[in-house]
Amino acid sequence: MNINKSSQISKFYKKTLKDRQEVVKDWIDDENDFLTLTQDQADNMIENVIGLYGLPFAVSTNFLINGEEYLIPIVIEEPSVVAALSFAAKLFREGGGFNTSSDKPEMIGQIQILDCPNINNALKQITIEKEVLLEEVNNLGGSIVKRGGGAKDFEIRQFNTDQLGEILIVHLIYDCRDAMGANAVNTAVEYLAPKLEQITRGRVNLRILSNLTDRRIARAEGVVLADSLTTDEMSGSEVVQSIIEAGVFAEIDPYRATTHNKGIMNGIDGVLIATGNDWRAVEAGAHAFAVRSGTYSSLTKWRRDSQGNLRGSIELPLSVGIVGGATRVHPMAQLALKILGVSSAQELAEVIATVGLAQNFAAIRALATDGIQKGHMRMHARQLAAAAGAPLEAIPLLVETMVAEGAIRLERAKQLLENWNEEH
């Protein structure tokens, strides 16, 4: 968040890239250039590096969350997502902005124990030794424990399987504070494994965190005024109804829910990548959470409120960090966190949930009214104009002509470019 500025930046999309950078530098009070990852830094991040892979880094405007102003950094290759977010945030702002909440940043580490000679004894012993073991884990130290996090509890789950007989799954509940926490949790469960073998006289197989981080849920909600949804063809109230119908479609039908949630993840992944977070972990958790009732369903809910306006809400597991991992190494991830101005992993999770809700609203509003192709094709035309080799100053004319003709094809972009070249 930024306490001194508004994220409602007039005609931000019409500014040049350089001017947008100036706005963002001013927002974060930083004169530094936008330095991206170097090959040397990349070489220290993963194995066998041969180069870098670039993606567009953008910001979405207009976000008002819990009464605070946010610019949202997004890294994505798909056109329309960034613009749709800014548009959605503008409408939610008119309805009072977004409100959010989240759970403590608790992760689950799993330890699989097999071949216990006496399951009841094993269960009893784990309970007796629990406090000592938790303390031992926390004595391993580390910055998370220093900040008040660390091992908090055990949960024990028991499975009776045809293939392997009785299995105990011990869940270590670990508060990760401002880290995503994968390393800390995995270190802790690897430490506990031999201790639990001794106590239970069983055998440990896997010890690894769970990506179904359902103790680490973030929630966001907000209202869009019916009046602001009016189109040339539909009243605001009709659009509210169409959006609710779209939302219920995704609540009841997994085929639709998958696409609906994909749209949500368009926004969420964009912020996760921008901030150097593990988007595969969040994706896995989000989809597992979406199927928790036994039927894969929507991550959002859309309803009409007592004033006839549209109320949307989202909840999903969001295991994210603002320290450690790529967030520390990648200069653009540092920049993204600075733009967001978040001071805790929970705040970041809540902002990300908000982005998911806003993205979903924008997608289903478009689908329930004009369809998405109209907006999409303009950006597609820009990509084609660029692919045809058009210089920057020629692109607007090529785009407008292709859109007006409804002929958004590379061949047409090339022809138009030839004409343009002859005239210039």
Per CB under 6 A, the segment of 49-57, 87-95, 236-244, 260-268 that binds ligand MEV is: 260-268
Burial class of 293 by CB neighbour count within 10 A (0 to 12, 13 to 18, 19+): exposed
Taking a C-beta distance cutoff of 8 angstroms, is the pair 104, 215 a contact?
yes
Distance CA 110, CA 48 (A): 31
Q: Say if residues 82 and 74 touch (Cβ distance below 8 Å).
A: yes
Cβ atoms of residues 133 and 192 within 8 Å: yes
Q: 198 or 259: whose CB is closer to ligand MEV?
A: 259
373 binds ligand MEV, rule: CB under 6 A: no
Site for ligand MEV in 63-92 (CB under 6 A): 78
CB of 74 to ligand MEV, least distance (A): 13
Cα separation, 57 vs 60, in Å, equals: 10
Between residues 279 and 420, which has the closer beta carbon with respect to ligand MEV?
A: 279
Give the nearer residue to ligand MEV in terms of CB position, either 144 or 363.
Answer: 363
Does residue 155 have an active-site annotation?
no
The answer to the question of residue 297 lying near ligand MEV (CB under 6 A) is no
260 near ligand MEV, judged by CB under 6 A: yes
Task: Quote the least distance from Cβ 362 to ligand MEV, whole Å.
Answer: 9
* Cα 422 to Cα 303: distance, rounded to the nearest angstrom: 56
Give SS3 for 27. helix
In the complex with ligand MEV, the residue whose CB is nearer, 177 or 256, is 256
205's tokens = 């197989």
Give SS3 for 222. Answer: strand
- Nearest distance in Å: CB 364, ligand MEV: 5
The catalytic residue among 25, 195, 376, 414 is: 376
What minimum distance in Å lies between the beta carbon of 316 and ligand MEV?
15
Point out which span in 68-76, 112-120, 199-207, 262-270 binds ligand MEV (CB under 6 A): 262-270
Does the protein bind ligand MEV through residue 372 (CB under 6 A)? Answer: yes
Give CA–CA dist 281/303, Å, rounded. Answer: 30
* Comparison of 225 and 246: residue with beta carbon closer to ligand MEV: 246
At 331, the amino acid letter reads: P
* Between 299 and 363, CB nearer to ligand MEV: 363
Non-local (6+) Cβ contacts of 414 within 8 A are 388, 389
CA atoms within 13 Å, Cβ hemisphere of 233: 5
How far is residue 180's CA from residue 183's CA, in Å, rounded to a whole number?
A: 8
- The DSSP symbol for 393 reads G
User: Cβ 111 to ligand MEV, closest distance in Å?
Assistant: 38
Options 138-146, 255-263, 281-289, 399-407: segment touching ligand MEV (CB under 6 A) = 255-263
Minimal CB distance to ligand MEV: which residue?
A: 263
Q: Taking a C-beta distance cutoff of 8 angstroms, is the pair 202, 168 a contact? A: yes
Find the part of the chain contacting ligand MEV (CB under 6 A) among 231-239, 256-264, 276-284, 405-413.
Answer: 256-264
Q: Are 223 and 92 in contact (CB under 8 A)?
A: yes
Q: Which of 39, 158, 205, 259 binds ligand MEV (CB under 6 A)?
A: 259
On whether the CB atoms of residues 298 and 257 are closer than 8 A, the answer is yes
Q: What residues from 146 to 165 belong to the interface with ligand MEV (CB under 6 A)?
A: none
- Among the options 106, 175, 178, 278, which is catalytic? 278
> Is 153 a known active-site residue?
no
By C-alpha distance, which of 263, 4, 225, 217 is closest to 97?
Answer: 225
**Is 376 noted as a catalytic residue in this protein?**
yes
- Residue 300 near ligand MEV by CB under 6 A: no
Integer Cα distance of 50 and 302 in angstroms: 46
Per CB under 6 A, which region of 48-56, 103-111, 133-141, 259-267 contacts ligand MEV? 259-267
Can you tell me which of 73, 105, 109, 263 binds ligand MEV, judged by CB under 6 A?
263
Place of tokens 């039908």: 253
**Residues of this chain, 312-371, that bind ligand MEV according to CB under 6 A:** 363-364, 367
Give me the catalytic one of 19, 30, 43, 78: 78
DSSP class of residue 95 equals: T
> Could you tell me which of 170, 160, 360 has the C-alpha nearest to residue 259?
360
Tell me how many residues contact ligand MEV (CB under 6 A): 10
Q: What is the torsion angle, in degrees rounded to the nearest 10, for the CA atoms of residue 34, residue 40, residue 41 and residue 47? A: 140
Specify whether 278 is catalytic: yes
Interface positions with ligand MEV (CB under 6 A): 78, 259-260, 262-263, 266, 363-364, 367, 372
> Which amino acids are annotated catalytic?
78, 262, 278, 376
